[in-house]
Chain A
């Protein structure tokens, strides 16, 4: 469980750092991601020993997700959620596509699109609920108006 939390934490950190450099500081997202990847590749193995290499790979994966455009992930908070999703998919996808270059980016793309899908679903549900609430209010208003006209 600790490993899962650590992976998710590093994923959130790396993803938001790359998103911040690319979308908030308005620098090149390639440069942002590459800096995060390079820094994590050097720092994590030195600081954390054997698990450090894995954390560097996690950070790289999340940094690719952090290259997402502001159109698809509109805020730093949303990027935190994408980072968390990326960390979870990274763990789940450990045995898949072994040794295939681009696997990490594919995980990042799945994370971004999954988040987008989840956001759309929640937005649609929220809109339907608001639609029902408005309809109920309108019906109540219609009922009150009829009562007033009868009294008058």
Chain B
């Protein structure tokens, strides 16, 4: 499980750097300069965060099996519910995720509300990316596993949930594309 945290940390970093690099393509020089400056600050901030919180990937503190299974179940449900509200009910990604987040924040304990809200970001994906309810269930399951495996990684950083969700979507689509080709 400790190895999974290192893998998770590496995936988070690659997702962030991937976004910065992808953003730089075809941009005007002023924006590229800004992105390069931000990339330098991001890398430095990432290194100091990882150095200060290295124990978060070394510690052997994992949720219990029961708790882990519950989180994975809730994440799967939240991702598919958000996808349903977004695409089938036509509420759009923002309102769909907001609704699921408000319900989670109001009704669940913080330990479960966070993972549910994170998983709702998966359901915000466009239909070109997560094309069906069954795919949202699969991706929700993947994000649940990643949440459990990487719990203390990037803790306290706003946007960790979104990075987790983006990582899950990219990983799931990569696997599915690989096995379908």
A residues bordering B, Cβ < 8 Å? 28, 30-35, 37-42, 53, 56-57, 60, 64-69, 71-73, 82, 85, 88-89, 91-118, 120-121
Contact = CB atoms under 8 A, between A and B. Distances in A.
Interface in B76-131: 92-95, 97-102, 104-106, 110, 113-114, 117, 121-126, 128-130
B42 to A, nearest CB: 4
Interface string B159-172: 11111111111100
A65 B117 CA distance: 14
3 nearest A-B residue pairs (beta carbon): A105-B162, A34-B101, A108-B159
Given A40-B94, A121-B41, A110 B48 contact: no
Interface of B: 12, 15-16, 18-20, 22-23, 25-27, 31, 34-35, 38, 40-46, 48-49, 92-95, 97-102, 104-106, 110, 113-114, 117, 121-126, 128-130, 154-170
Contact of A41 (B41, B98, B166): B98
B159 A37 contact: no
B38 A102 contact: no
Given A100-B129, A106-B19, A120-B44, A37 B97 contact: yes
Given A110-B159, A111-B158, 6 more contacts: A35-B105, A41-B92, A68-B159, A72-B49, A102-B121, A109-B16
A38 B163 CA distance: 20
A73 B49 CA distance: 13
24 contacts: A31-B113, A34-B104, A34-B105, A35-B98, A37-B94, A38-B99, A41-B98, A57-B94, A60-B98, A89-B38, A96-B22, A100-B129, A101-B130, A102-B121, A102-B125, A102-B161, A107-B19, A108-B158, A109-B159, A109-B160, A116-B45, A117-B40, A117-B46, A117-B48
A108 B159 CA distance: 5
Contacts of A82: 158
Contact of B157 (A35, A96, A112): A112
A56 B93 CA distance: 10
A86 B18 CA distance: 17
Nearest to A101: B125
